[in-house]
Homo-oligomer: A and B are copies of this chain.
Amino acid sequence: MTHTLNPADPAFAETLRAALPEGTLDQASARYLEEPRGRYAGQTSILAKPRTVEQVATLIRMAGQARVGVIPYGGGTGLVGGQVATGEIAPLILSLERMNKVRAIYPDENVLVAEAGVILADVQNAAQEADRLFPLSLAAQGTARIGGNLATNAGGTGVLRYGNTRDLCLGLEAVLPDGQIWHGLTRLRKNNTGYDLRHLLIGAEGTLGVITAAALKLFARPAKTGTALLVVESPDAALKLLSMARGLFGEMVSAFELIHRQGFDFLTETMPEVRQPFATPPEWCVLVELGLAADMDPQGALETLFEKASEEGLVPDGLIAQSAAQANDFWTIRESIPEANRRIGSVSSHDISVPLGAIPEFIEVGGARLAQMGDFRINCFGHVGDGNLHFNVFPQVGRSRADHENQRVAIKACVHDLVHELGGSISAEHGIGRVKVADLETYGDPAKLSAMRAIKAALDPIGIMNPGAVLRR
């Protein structure tokens, strides 16, 4: 059951203008119509920048009355086109950028209440000023806004220890598709009063409502941090090392990131200013971070891990950071790899996850199948402790992504088919957006898809909320 939507035209803008404070509406400038990879461009449209949840409710209610689609807009850093309406009837772009206040912070409760438009780095900083940690951490944190992080259930490097964004949220304030305000901004740790609307809106990518504020979990800041780059013989050895590290340090293992030699080589090729820690980059290594209690010794802990892993033949070599500067160098490598990838230009990039035990098979079989399709460079890296790998396919030196444009669809299908065979996910941390709608239809569970469609139709019968994202209209 699809309903035709109307465009956000000048007449609609006039109606909105009459109902909202001056300056709320504008024409959407180019940056609201782009996305980071430059693959899609949105339609020229109207931009609304409300300052309060009541104004958001007015906008949604009026959009429903006029049957105009609404795209909730955060920092615009999403990688699956959830923030860009392509080739459709022009929707209203609803930016949360002016709802950018940290409303309250409760250090003794480990809770921070932020509006949806607060930039992720500002949430982190506000927590730090209260001697607390907000552990969501990802490359786009200087631009991404917390509402978008919630809408997409963002992942990042802190998931291993602290969970996905949904695990960091206690309560939400949101406007539902019918314009009702849900006042669900609870700071409670336990609250079993009916269906969990919070988890339904988180990860729904703005298709079931607009998140306007959230009560977020904070944590004690680990008193001491230890960082190491440990060489491993194989992805399988990396997993055994993780298991060993958790046996020794439990939840204090804060990060466990896999890096392939290709990543170091891309840095050499495109970002020679990044300091390389190994004279010869190893085939595989992991960046391990421990966040420890005050009376613990991080270097001693990492030495214990290194020795034990060496004895069992898992780790032939490694570097334990001897200073904060050196730890920072290690992280710079990990965090520069996405930029190096961008400079090389991928033919196809994949944000996938598989069960931890299936990672070695995925890497081996995936590499072999792609080798049959052509001569590529593969940069496989990422949050191996979460089973989440970025498995990105690049042209060989001297060729460009344009040379392989006609293979892009087949490469993607090859990787996603394998992920599906292994019980994995074709979108680990980026979401579905508009880019993966067809993939979700292909690989998604039919019962789940039918439930999703029923829920969407029930909560948003006209289909105004982020039309075309997640589910096909």
Contacts and interface: CB of A to CB of B under 8 A. Distances in A.
Interface string A218-252: 01101000000000000000011001001111111
B294 A248 contact: yes
A192 B428 contact: yes
Given A109-B356, A295-B304, A180 B459 contact: no
A187 B425 CA distance: 10
Contact of A353 (B191, B220, B443): B191
A273 B189 CA distance: 34
Interface stretch (A2-10, A88-96, A194-202, A312-320): A194-202
Interface magnitude class on chain A? 35 or more
Interface string A432-456: 1000100010011111111110110
A329 B111 CA distance: 34
A398 to B, nearest CB: 35
B454 A353 contact: no
A425 B354 contact: no
A176 B451 contact: yes
A74 interface: no
A458 interface: yes
Nearest to A202: B196
Nearest to A471: B194
Contacts of A296: 293, 295-296
Number of copies: 2
B295 A353 contact: no
A459 B454 contact: yes
Contacts of A219: 250-251
B353 A432 contact: no
Contacts of A448: 182, 184, 194, 197
Interface stretch (A38-46, A151-159, A279-287, A402-410): A151-159
Interface of A: 106-111, 152-153, 155, 159, 163-164, 166-167, 176, 178, 180-184, 186-197, 199-200, 202-204, 208, 219-220, 222, 239-240, 243, 246-252, 291, 293-296, 301, 304, 353-357, 383, 385-388, 423-432, 436, 440, 443-452, 454-455, 457-459, 470-471
Given A192-B432, A250-B251, 11 more contacts: A108-B239, A181-B447, A183-B447, A188-B424, A188-B428, A190-B386, A194-B471, A197-B451, A199-B199, A454-B458, A454-B459
